Amino acid sequence: MKTIKLGIAGLGHVGCGLIELVNLQAALRLPGRVEISGVSARTKTRNRRVDTSSYHWFDDAAALAADPDIDVFVELIGGSDGPAKLAVEAALRAGKPVVTANKALIAMHGSGLEKLAQANDVDLMFEAAVAGGVPIVRVLRDSLSGISVQRVTGILNGTCNYLTTQMLETGRSYGEVLDEAQRLGYAEADPTLDVSGMDAAHKAAILASIAFTADLDFDKVSVRGVDTIELLDLVLADRLGLRIKLITEGLATKAGIICRIAPMALPLHHPLAQVDGALNTVRVEGDPLGAVTLTGPGAGAGPTASAVMGDVAKLFTPTARSPFGRAAHHKVRQFVAADQTERSAFFLRVKLADRPGALASLTEALAAHGVSVDKLLQDSADDTGAAPVAIVSHVCSRGDIDAAAAKVAALNTIIGAPQVIPIDLAY
């Protein structure tokens, strides 16, 4: 396939984000061309941020799923049952690959849908269902198929992590922070799925099923949320050196696979303890790897749509993919050398001879090349009479700092070579 025609069911935030991404595909690295053939949603008339009038409209998602004009069915309806499940089943039965962001559907019916997909020899892909833009599904399934997984832990609900982070940082109650999160759009109007732990549980169960080649049996998953966590708990735990977070865990035991979601108290040096705010993170531990951690945006239209697109990209069928991921239609770009006009702040360190005027001669040399000082720290001279000076410059060009450093190096008040290191102020 050099062109893939999508049928997209569900035109909420993620659906509209996907259409925007299809429209911008020249900036992506897809192996071929993606087109949208048909769309479906609950209501046709609703005002959406993208124009869908040029796509074939289907009132019934299952009819779209089986439409001969589409190559791939993209399910963004949501919900574990109802139209989403019917449509996905219809697509698989019609021999169409399915790409879905629906964690509830896969968690509740993944085993059955897997059998249906295999019986029809088509792909069922759900990278976007777990941790949004963090590509953990395919990493765990494919890239890490050469390790024996012991444990998969994670922070898989950004809303819960945001709530507990904000409560501790601002000293406000669960209710106050939840109200604010709802106003800011970080929490749903009905936050139950998130705060009860159920959303994280869906994702964790999917990961455990992949990691341990286990039949996904959601009834065995133990689920506790953050809705009983009080500010007091976070504060007292903090004073005891512990950070309370909603943690998901999949664990291989002799009895079988344990999957649970619960608030856990983490020592500050724990690898998940410092993941704050709305981020998602997944940590896979296994032999002979050790552990790998992936962190990124777990939700949102853009990250989720890009994960859907990554799945679609895998459905193009040149047998051997270009090693560097380049397709024939890609405009190949060139490496260029970094140049001297590039601007940055710099860390400049010199050793000054311990005599009058040494510091003045340094700052004059800098000023002569337009390098101005943001911070300066001079320490006492050491036994050899060398006084270390460190400077954080204001933003200047690489050319200016290099010229200034060359001038400084030539001063007879300077010992040894100046050290020039760019500062990454992008964060």
Footprint of its own copies on 35-94 (CB under 8 A): none
Of the candidates 247, 352, 358, 415, which one interacts with its own copies according to CB under 8 A? Answer: 247
- Looking at the Cβ atoms of 302 and 370, the one nearer to its own copies is 302
Interacting positions 354-373 with its own copies (CB under 8 A): none
**Residues in Cβ contact with 60 at an 8 Å cutoff, skipping those fewer than 6 apart:** 40
Closer CB to its own copies, 58 or 366, in the complex: 366
Pick one of 84, 303, 366, 407: the residue that binds its own copies (CB under 8 A): 303
3-class SS of residue 315: coil
The CB-of-149 to its own copies minimum distance in angstroms stands at: 8
> How far is Cα 395 from Cα 343, in angstroms, rounded to an integer?
6
Q: Looking at 260, 365, 401, 407, which residue binds its own copies (CB under 8 A)?
A: 260
Residues in 196-225 that interact with its own copies by CB under 8 A: 205, 208-210, 212-218, 220-222
Q: CB-based contacts of 148: which residues, under 8 Å, 6+ apart?
A: 286, 287
Footprint on residues 152-191 left by its own copies (CB under 8 A): 153
CB contact at 8 A, 107 and 206 = yes
Cβ-count burial 337-356 (b if 16+ within 10 Å, e if not): eeeeeeebbbbbebbbbeee
* Interface with its own copies (CB under 8 A), residue from 12, 78, 370, 388: 388
Which residue among 78, 296, 370, 399 contacts its own copies (CB under 8 A)?
Answer: 296
Considering the rule CB under 8 A, would residue 287 count as an interface residue with its own copies? Answer: yes
380 part of the interface to its own copies, by CB under 8 A = no
> How far apart, in whole angstroms, are the C-alpha atoms of residue 387 and residue 214?
64
Q: Does residue 290 belong to the site contacting its own copies (CB under 8 A)?
A: yes
Provide the angle, in degrees to the nearest 10, between the axes of the packed helices 158-170 and 231-239. 70
Q: Total residues contacting its own copies (rule CB under 8 A)?
A: 141
Q: Which residues, 116 to 145, sit near its own copies by CB under 8 A?
A: 117-118, 121-127, 133-135, 138-145
98 burial class (0-12, 13-18, 19+ CB within 10 angstroms)? buried
Instruction: Check if the beta carbon of residue 285 is closer than 8 Å to that of residue 152.
Output: yes
| Residue 423 binds to its own copies (criterion: CB under 8 A) | yes
* Owner of token pair 């005891």: 240
Selection from 102, 73, 294, 63 nearest residue 193 by Cα = 102
Question: Does 104 participate in binding its own copies (rule CB under 8 A)?
Answer: no
Name the minimum Å distance from CB 248 to its own copies.
Answer: 12
Q: Which residues in 315-344 contact its own copies (CB under 8 A)?
A: 319-326, 330-339
Name the residue nearer to its own copies (CB basis): 189 or 269: 269
**Length of the chain in residues, anyone?**
427
Which residues have a Cβ under 8 Å from the Cβ of 259 and sit 6 or more positions away?
A: 201, 204, 205, 208, 220, 221, 222, 248, 249, 250, 251
C-beta of residue 105 within 8 angstroms of C-beta of residue 79: yes
- Which part of the chain contacts its own copies (CB under 8 A), choosing from 3-11, 172-180, 375-383, 402-410? 375-383
Which of 42-50, 115-123, 162-170, 177-185 is the region at the interface with its own copies (rule: CB under 8 A)? 115-123
The H or E element containing residue 177 is: helix 174-184
Residue position matching structure tokens 């698989």:
92
Cα separation of 220 and 231, whole Å? 30
Per-residue tokens: 354: 């311990």
SS3 263: strand
Contact yes or no for 77/84 (Cβ under 8 A): yes
Using the contact rule CB under 8 A, the part of the chain among 43-51, 169-177, 345-353, 406-414 near its own copies is 345-353
Q: How far apart are alpha carbons 309 and 422 in whole angstroms?
A: 36
Q: What is the CA radius of gyration of the chain?
A: 27
Instruction: Select 347 or 411, whichever has its Cβ closest to its own copies.
Output: 347
Binding part of the chain for its own copies, among 14-22, 49-57, 162-170, 364-372 by CB under 8 A, reads 14-22
Q: Does 425 participate in binding its own copies (rule CB under 8 A)?
A: yes
| The only residue of 189, 190, 269, 380 in contact with its own copies, by rule CB under 8 A | 269
* Shortest Å distance, C-beta 45 to its own copies: 26
- 258 near its own copies, judged by CB under 8 A: yes
CA angle 422, 423, 426 (to 5 degrees): 130
Active-site pick, 85, 96, 103, 203: 203
Q: Which of 392, 395, 397, 399 binds its own copies (CB under 8 A)?
A: 392
**Does an H or E element contain 160, and which?**
helix 158-170
Q: How far is the CB of 110 from its own copies (least distance, A)?
A: 7
Q: Is 396 in the site for its own copies (CB under 8 A)?
A: no
Quick check: is 203 catalytic? yes
Our finding on whether 233 is near its own copies (CB under 8 A) is yes
Catalytically annotated residues: 203
